[in-house]
Structure 1
């Protein structure tokens, strides 16, 4: 008998896009976007285009999410890792990663700091606008 998860479904059961989005803590549109960028993610599509994700799809999506959000890879960087290492190595976390450059570019660091300041200011303005509603 297959183990049951907290949601009462078998670990081998297929999941809907809403279940996967909730589990991975991403929006549904992000999952649909990732499908366009990573052809290795292939949920089954039923009538009306309803998606059903297999457990292996979910594990790949989890790794893609982690590589993008936690490890700082770009979409192109994750695509390259998948192409060079294959899905299984990525899912297992055994991918060969590029070596980071030995030092950083001070010009880029300055630009990043300035953009960070602009972002903080924009968030302040957004908060003021929301408070005034």
Structure 2
């Protein structure tokens, strides 16, 4: 049974959608304070659709556009989350 578009994703589901391993998503959480998944009891992460969109934006900037982690951090600081998303259609 497929999840609806507004359903929360586990880290494995988010990693599959983003195209990055789970450990990379955890690492990005330490480097980018704007990546904040919901954490339940026991520390289990759940990603909202907007979290997945942010992760996809970070991946695009790092892998496709060749920015460094510091470059993405600076971009967020100077231009905000909208630039990270790159005009993606993000659910509210």
The TM-score with structure 1 as length reference comes to: 0.63
CA distance in 2: counterparts of 1:38 and 1:54, whole angstroms: 16
Q: CA deviation at 1:90?
A: 2.2
Greater RCO, 1 or 2 (C-alpha within 8 Å, sep 6+): 2
Calculate the aligned-residue CA RMSD, in Å: 1.2
Q: Deviations over 1:70-97 (max 9, x none)?
A: 1000000000001111112321x15xxx
Gaps of 5+ in 1: 1-6, 95-133
Match of 2:5 in 1: 11
**Number of paired residues?**
87
Distance 2:24 2:5 in 1: 23
- TM-score, structure 2 as length reference: 0.89
Structure 2 residue runs of 5 or longer lacking an equivalent are 88-92
Alpha-carbon separation, structure 2, partners of 1:25 and 1:46: 24
Match of 2:33 in 1: 39
- Residue 74 of structure 2 is aligned with which of 80, 85, 89? 80
Q: Tell which structure's C-alpha radius of gyration is larger.
A: 1
User: Which residue of structure 2 aligns with residue 70 of structure 1?
Assistant: 64
Aligned positions of 1:23-62 closer than 5 A: 23-62=17-56
